[in-house]
Structures are given as C-alpha cells and as structure tokens.
C-alpha cells in the first residue's frame, strides 16, 4: 500500500481566497501529508480570511503577493526566502478577468481586458515559476488549475478560456524546459465548483446541473477530490508525469 509522506518538504500555495478555493483544498492535503505550507494572498481584501485559514494549519506563514507587479513579486519572494531555503512544491491557482469581459460577448473583449486576463491568469505562472525554480534545489513539482474552456468553447467563459489555453501551453513549454532540472509541471482541469472565481461566471448554477446530467459519474466533483489529485501530481507517486493536464471532472471531458 502506498502512502504519501511529505515530512520535511515545503509547499508554496498561491491563490487562496477563502475556504472554497481549490488552492486551499490542495493546501489541506499537503499539510495532512506532513508538508510545511506557505500561503500567499492577493491583497488586504482577502488577508483576514487567509489568516483564519492559515490558523487551521499551525505554523503556516502568509505572504502578500500581487502577481501583476514585479515589485510585489520580488518583495514576496524576499519574505518567502526568510521562511525557507527550499521549495519542493508550488501550486498556482490564480485567475482574474474583468466582470464586463465575462458578462458580455467575447467579440467585445477590450484590449485592456484581454491584457489583464492573460497577465494575471497565465503570465503569472511564468513570473512565479521563474522565482520559484531557484529555490527548488532538490528538484520539485508544480501544479496549476485550468478548466475545459481552454480546449472548448464555453458560454460566458470568454477571455478566461483564452487565458486557460495559454496557461496549458505555458505548462507544456515549461515541462520541456525544466525537466533537465528535475522539475515537473502539470495542470488540473477541474469540473465546476462553487469558488469565488466561479461566481463571476454567468449562469453558473446551470453549468453545475449540466455537468451533473452529462458526466459519466452523474455528479459534480468535490473540492477534496481536486485536493487529492493535486497531492498526487505534486508527490513522487506522479514522478513520471509532466506537461500534462489531468481532468478531475467526473469524466465530463470525454462526452461529446
């Protein structure tokens, strides 16, 4: 029987906003397996909530990090280096698009709205990985969160689908580039879940019902299922897996 023991390992988890965050689901599994967890938060609006969550895992530091600012990124990693000399696992769960670019037609996406969505939701993986890898002195593993809209047209997902497609390509390119350094990188494409980001998608309740009716397992997935999938991909149990997208969506992605 296989067990996952991450004692002595350190995980950097970004994108936790509240208890429904997929990043938090993964963080909980990492901590339960024995890893030291470091959380980042985007700004004062979510700081208090992230502090409360961090308190559930004794000894978990939180660091402010605005991925749209190189100055903030550099400052955050200065503080992270004060907490640890090595990072073994990195979770990227950051996405944002302006509300008007999700509520309207995709064809009407503004140049600035497109830039913001791609910068925060996709380029941030590059910007963060560039700063994380030097701390992966013993190799490491990276997981990011994507969605099926990266590969299909999904109503109302609009520019976020474009950003997720970019995120998946960045993952493949980084897998090729970082492999010789012993660093693996993969994506989890989760089915729809009630998260802060999902609330910005028009007709989200209808999407949940659609998935439940069409998925082979005839249900939606649970936060814990995404969390354990993240734990698997980050751990040595997935040691031969890199550059791939793992669907955790009750099988919905195989249905025409």
Active site residues: 147, 157
- Residue listed under structure tokens 């890898």: 133
Both structure tokens of 183: 């660093």
What residues does 188 pair with on adjacent strands? Answer: 145, 246
Residue-wise burial string across 164-189, b where 16 or more C-beta atoms lie within 10 A, e elsewhere: bbbbbebbbebbeebeeeebbbbbbb
- CA-based torsion, 65, 71, 75, 80: positive or negative: positive
Eight-state DSSP code of residue 190: E
Query: Distance of CA 69 to CAs 17, 119, 122, 126, 239, Å?
Result: 18, 10, 14, 13, 33
Gap between the Cα atoms of 72 and 128, Å rounded: 11
Both structure tokens of 146: 């994507």
Q: Can you give the length of the chain in residues?
A: 256
Is 37 within 8 Å of 13 (Cβ atoms)? yes
Question: Which pairing describes strands 89-92 and 245-248: parallel, antiparallel, or unpaired?
Answer: unpaired
Cα 43 from chain centroid (whole Å): 17
Coil, strand or helix: which one is 213?
Answer: helix
Both structure tokens of 64: 């402010």
């Amino acid at each position: 029987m296989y067990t996952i023991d991450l004692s002595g390992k350190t995980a950097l988890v970004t994108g936790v906003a509240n208890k429904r965050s997929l990043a938090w689901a993964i963080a909980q599994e990492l901590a339960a397996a024995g890893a030291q967890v470091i959380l980042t938060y985007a700004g004062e609006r979510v700081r208090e909530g992230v502090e409360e969550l961090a308190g559930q895992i004794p000894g978990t530091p939180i660091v402010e990090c605005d991925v749209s600012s190189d100055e903030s990124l550099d400052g955050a990693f200065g503080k992270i280096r004060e907490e640890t000399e090595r990072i073994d696992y990195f979770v990227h769960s950051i996405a944002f698009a302006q509300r008007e670019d999700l509520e309207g037609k995709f064809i009407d996406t503004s140049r600035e709205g497109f830039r913001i969505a791609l910068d925060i939701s996709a380029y941030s993986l590059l910007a963060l990985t560039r700063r994380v890898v030097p701390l992966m002195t013993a190799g490491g593993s990276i997981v990011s969160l994507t969605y099926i809209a990266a590969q299909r047209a999904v109503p109302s997902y609009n520019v976020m689908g474009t950003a997720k497609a970019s995120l998946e390509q960045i993952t493949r390119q980084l897998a090729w580039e970082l492999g010789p350094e012993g660093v693996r990188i993969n994506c989890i494409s989760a089915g729809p879940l009630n998260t802060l980001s999902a609330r910005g998608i028009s007709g989200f309740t209808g999407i949940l019902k659609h998935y439940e009716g069409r998925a082979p397992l005839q249900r939606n997935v649970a936060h814990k299922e995404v969390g354990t999938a993240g734990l698997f991909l980050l751990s040595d149990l997935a040691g031969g897996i890199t550059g791939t997208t793992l669907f955790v969506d009750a099988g919905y992605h195989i249905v025409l």
